[in-house]
Amino acid sequence: MCYLFRHTSKPNSKGYFHSIPASKNQFNNLTFQHHYSTNSPCSSAKIVPLRCAIVRLMETQEGSASKPVIDFHDINEELVQKMVYDALVWSSLHGLLVGDKSVERSGKVPGVGMVHAPFALVPVKFPENHFKLACEVAPIFNELIDRVSLDGKFLQESLSRTKKVDVFTSRLLDIHSKMLEMNKIEEIRLGLHRSDYMLDEQTKLLLQIELNTISSSFPGLSCLVSELHRNLLKHYGEWLGLDSKRIPSNNTVNRFAEALAKAWTEYNNPRAVVMVVVQPEEHNMYDQHWLCAALKEKHNVTAIRKTLAEIDEEGELLPDGTLLVGGQEIAVVYFRSGYAPTDYPSEAEWRARLLMEQSLAIKCPSISYHLAGTKKIQQELAKPNVLERFLEDKEDITKLLKCFAGLWSLDDTDIVKRAIERPELFVMKPQREGGGNNIYGDDVKENLLRLQREGTEEDAAYILMQRIFPTVSPTFLVLNGISHKDHAVSELGVYGAYLRNKDKVIINDQCGHLMRTKVSSSNEGGVVAGFAVLDSIYLMEQL
Ligand code: ADP
Ligand code: MG
Q: Are 315 and 355 in contact (CB under 8 A)?
A: yes
Do β-strands 124-127 and 537-540 pair in parallel, antiparallel, or remain unpaired? parallel
Alpha-carbon distance 352 to 336, whole Å? 14
298 is catalytic: no
Answer whether residue 58 shows pLDDT above 80.
no
Any idea what DSSP says for residue 385?
Answer: T
212 is catalytic: yes
Alpha-carbon distance 94 to 290, whole Å? 11
Give the residue from 247, 115, 50 showing the smallest Cα distance to 533.
115
| Residues forming beta bridges with residue 199, ordered by sequence position | 206
Tell me, using a 6 A CB cutoff, whether residue 237 lines ligand 1.
Answer: no
Ion ligand 2 residue ranges (Cβ < 5 Å): 1-2, 210
In total, the chain counts a number of residues equal to 543
DSSP H or E stretch at residue 163 = helix 160-165
Do β-strands 532-535 and 504-519 pair in parallel, antiparallel, or remain unpaired? antiparallel
Give the residue from 176, 71, 193 showing the smallest Cα distance to 141.
193
Distances, alpha carbon 278 to alpha carbons 33, 242, 304, 515, in Å? 37, 39, 10, 24
Q: Are 68 and 115 in contact (CB under 8 A)?
A: no
Q: Are 530 and 510 in contact (CB under 8 A)?
A: no
Any idea what DSSP says for residue 21?
Answer: P
Give the residue from 274, 314, 269 showing the smallest Cα distance to 296.
274
CB neighbour class for 124 (10 Å; exposed up to 12, middle 13-18, buried from 19): buried
315 is catalytic: no
147 is catalytic: no
70 falls in which pLDDT band (50, 70, 90)? very low
Q: Are 414 and 406 in contact (CB under 8 A)?
A: no
Residue 314's φ and ψ, nearest 5 degrees, are -105, -5
99 is catalytic: no
Any idea what DSSP says for residue 219?
Answer: H
Q: Choose the catalytic residue: 14, 194, 363, 445.
A: 194
Tell me, using a 6 A CB cutoff, whether residue 433 lines ligand 1.
Answer: yes
- pTM, two decimal places: 0.89
Any idea what DSSP says for residue 30?
Answer: B
Tell me, using a 6 A CB cutoff, whether residue 201 lines ligand 1.
Answer: no
Answer whether residue 11 shows pLDDT above 80.
no
75 falls in which pLDDT band (50, 70, 90)? confident
Tell me, using a 6 A CB cutoff, whether residue 492 lines ligand 1.
Answer: no
Give tens-digit pLDDT for 235-279: 999 988 999 999 999 999 999 999 999 999 999 999 999 999 999
Nearest residue by C-alpha to atom 17 in ligand 1 = 524
Q: How far is the CA of 450 from the centre of ligand 1 (A)?
A: 23
Nearest residue by C-alpha to atom 8 in ligand 1 = 1
Q: Which one has a higher pLDDT value, 66 or 376?
A: 376
Q: How far is the CA of 51 from the centre of ligand 2 (A)?
A: 33
Q: How far is the CA of 542 from the centre of ligand 1 (A)?
A: 25
Q: How far is the CA of 217 from the centre of ligand 2 (A)?
A: 10
Q: Any idea which ligand is nearest the CA of 469? A: 1
Cα pseudo-dihedral 380, 381, 385, 387, rounded to 10? 160
DSSP secondary structure string, 468-533? P-BPPEEEEEEETTEEEEEEEEEEEEEEEEEEEETTEEEEEEEEEEEEEEEETT--SSSSS---EE
3-state secondary structure of 192: strand
Q: Choose which residue among 209, 379, 518 to substitute to test ligand 1 binding: the one with the highest number of ligand atoms within 8 A of its C-beta.
A: 209
16 falls in which pLDDT band (50, 70, 90)? very low
Q: How far is the CA of 442 from the centre of ligand 2 (A)?
A: 21
151 falls in which pLDDT band (50, 70, 90)? very high
DSSP secondary structure string, 260-312? HHHHHHHHT-TT-EEEEEE-SS-TTHHHHHHHHHHHHHHH---EEEEEHHHHH
Q: How far is the CA of 197 from the centre of ligand 2 (A)?
A: 9
Give tens-digit pLDDT for 344-368: 999 999 999 999 999 999 999 999 9
Q: Of 30-44, 105-119, 124-138, 271-285, which range is least confident?
A: 30-44
Answer whether residue 203 shows pLDDT above 60.
yes
434 is catalytic: yes
Q: Say which residues have a Cβ less than 8 Å from residue 92's Cβ, sequence separation at least 6.
A: 116
| Residues forming beta bridges with residue 56, ordered by sequence position | 69
Distances, alpha carbon 506 to alpha carbons 7, 211, 263, 447, in Å? 38, 21, 9, 46
Average pLDDT over the chain reads 87
What percent of the chain shows pLDDT beyond 90? 80
| Residues forming beta bridges with residue 330, ordered by sequence position | 273
Q: What average pLDDT score do residues 124-131 get?
A: 96
Task: Determine the residue type at 109.
Answer: V
Nearest residue by C-alpha to atom 13 in ligand 1 = 3
Q: Choose the catalytic residue: 6, 14, 305, 429.
A: 429
Alpha-carbon distance 433 to 352, whole Å? 20
Tell me, using a 6 A CB cutoff, whether residue 143 lines ligand 1.
Answer: no
Answer whether residue 297 shows pLDDT above 80.
yes
